[in-house]
Structure 1
Amino acid sequence: MGLFGFGKKKSKKEAEPAVEPVDEDKVAAAEANAAAKAESAETVLAEPASEYQGRGEERGPWDVNDEDVPDYDDYLDLGAYYLPFLRGIQLRIKANRATQQVLGSTITFGSSSLEIEAFAAPKTLGLWDDVRGDLLEANKAASEVDGVFGTELKLPVNVKGGKTVNTRIVGVDGPRWMLRGIFSGKAAIDPDSPETEALNKFFAGIVVERGEEPLAPRDLIPMHPPVAPAERKAAKAAAEAGEANGKEHFKDIPDNKPKGPLSQDQQTEVKTTLSRGPMFSEVR
């Protein structure tokens, strides 16, 4: 006879002595215990997602209106965004030669660089998925990879002299903006490099200020030349003093980004983003 009674049937007389009264309380308790164990097992076995899931309470890049935005009073003000401090970096400003309008910035750290641009985006939808699709279609050598900031792009870029430079392109969607970062050097190819870790944290620490001016999706958010924290505080104090003394002209101190969108023909193509403009300032 098997363990569960599968086999020859017993006669009623033989079977009756083996039957024990059913304790309904014990059965109910056993079922409840089994259900609790199952629920507990599901809770214990469920692992948190390890991939980047977008901006959050503890993840940047940030928006100036985020509840937990870092204190950016000591950040470098470029109008469209505020850059955190990182010892040893060099800052280069990309500007239109004809109009001198600022279009973006590039951070150099060690043998790596990070180019940063902020774009206007629709109110309800993110922009990075569409931009990434366009880059994939335009560059057959580009490929998607899972990275620190979600789905990223690997893109080899041909530069002067016949050399090929590997780049890593990141996009993060915020409220009505998208911040794009183009990493090159070790930060593009070696995820374990200290330079990669430093520039990843730097990019995640940026605070974006979209502004309220009407901009079409993919317009660059207007920028201005860098304003150091001390300059910004002095300008604010002077403006407040000017208002108190009736000196309205102090309001013209450069403290705000220019109004209106930057025209599309001023944007630099990906293949030329590695060219370096004149040094504007250096932060140590």
Structure 2
Amino acid sequence: MIFRSRPRGDEGLAAAAGRDPGENDLDTASGPPPGDNAGTSGATTDFAESTQPEVGGPDDGAIDLDELDAGEWRELGPYDIGEVDAEALEEPDPDQPRIDLGSIVLAGTDGMELRLQVDENSQQIVSAMMIRADSALEVGAFAAPRSGGLWAEVRDELVQAAESAGGSANLVPGPYGVELRRVLPVQTPDGQQGYQPTRMWVAEGPRWMLRGIIYGQAALEDGIETPVAEILEAFRQIVVRRGDEAMAPGDLLPLSLPEDLAPQPGTAQDAAGAAAAETDTGV
């Protein structure tokens, strides 16, 4: 597994989110949340299509949103830190290495690459993307009300934002209830106009909401067969560490570099150097 950290300033974050710097990370009235890269070039444009794919999904059409929202979808994960053996997470496991990013703990698999997006001004990690073959999963965790229901509040705004940006969106049944399918216009690395299809899964836990955005081939497939299965398994194995601090609903839970990758004070590899570093863990 390869860890890659890439600098990204406030201006780039705002452009990707379709909003001004400093707005709430899930304030979607003016555009999609950070990590979507709508209308920008970046790592996710590697998965862009030259022509606009159709947005669809299983049982495309009218669905019972309330029934899907009422379902229990986390039996197989992702998990809250209180639902697992926290001490076991810290023990090395050669068969399933763990990557502790503070608010989320990821499970590594053979052949999977992890890219960490870093704000070059604050040196804070703003997103984590797990890439396997021609598919990718970008994850982020957010503070949520104790009563839950944050996903139901924001998804209609995400649909409207996609349509306002010249794309399309649809709500379909997915492995976590209501799944959001979108196709957004982007600029490809060679400067051409392209379209980026995505699937969005959202799991809600105790005072947190975990969002997963799927890119590439897995975003084009219906159902959860391969290659979606590998992406789904990676999402299910995530552990969320919400913490006890008071946070407004929609605030991004902070991410941090693992201790063995974080730069040491007084060394030549300062925070800016760490943002551009690549480390091969041998997995």
Long gaps (5+) in structure 1: 1-48, 233-251, 253-276
> Structure 2: how far apart are the matches of 1:159 and 1:151?
25
The structure in which a higher percent of residues are strand is 2
> Structure 1: how far apart are the matches of 2:237 and 2:86?
9
Once the two structures are TM-superposed, the CA of residue 131 in structure 1 deviates from its matched residue by: 2.1
Amino acid at match of 1:103: V
2:176 maps to 149
1:45 maps to none
2:135 paired with 1:112: yes
1:88 maps to 111
Judging changes above 3 Å, is the alpha-carbon distance between structure 1 residues 70 and 53 closer, same or farther for their aligned structure 2 residues?
farther
1:240 maps to none
> Structure 2: how far apart are the matches of 1:146 and 1:68?
31
2:103 paired with 1:72: no
Which structure has more relative contact order (CA 8 Å, sep 6+)? It is 2
4+ runs deviating over 6 angstroms: 49-52
RMSD: 2.9
- 1:188-199 to 2 correspondences below 5 Å: 188-190=219-221, 191=223, 193-199=225-231
Once the two structures are TM-superposed, the CA of residue 281 in structure 1 deviates from its matched residue by: 4.2
User: How many matched pairs?
Assistant: 190
1:268 maps to none
2:149 paired with 1:126: yes
8 Å Cα contact 1:118-1:180 kept in structure 2: yes
1:53 maps to 71
The structure in which a higher percent of residues are helix is 1
Once the two structures are TM-superposed, the CA of residue 52 in structure 1 deviates from its matched residue by: 9.8
8 Å Cα contact 2:162-2:184 kept in structure 1: no
2:122 paired with 1:99: yes
Report the identity percentage: 33
> Structure 2: how far apart are the matches of 1:92 and 1:147?
25
8 Å Cα contact 2:143-2:250 kept in structure 1: yes
Once the two structures are TM-superposed, the CA of residue 55 in structure 1 deviates from its matched residue by: 4.0
2:35 maps to none
> Structure 1: how far apart are the matches of 2:150 and 2:139?
16
Q: TM-score, normalised by structure 1?
A: 0.60
- 1:165-180 to 2 correspondences below 5 Å: 165-180=196-211
Judging changes above 3 Å, is the alpha-carbon distance between structure 1 residues 198 and 135 closer, same or farther for their aligned structure 2 residues?
same
2:213 paired with 1:182: yes
Long gaps (5+) in structure 2: 1-66, 93-97, 266-274
Once the two structures are TM-superposed, the CA of residue 153 in structure 1 deviates from its matched residue by: 0.5
Amino acid at match of 1:187: A
> Structure 1: how far apart are the matches of 2:158 and 2:68?
26
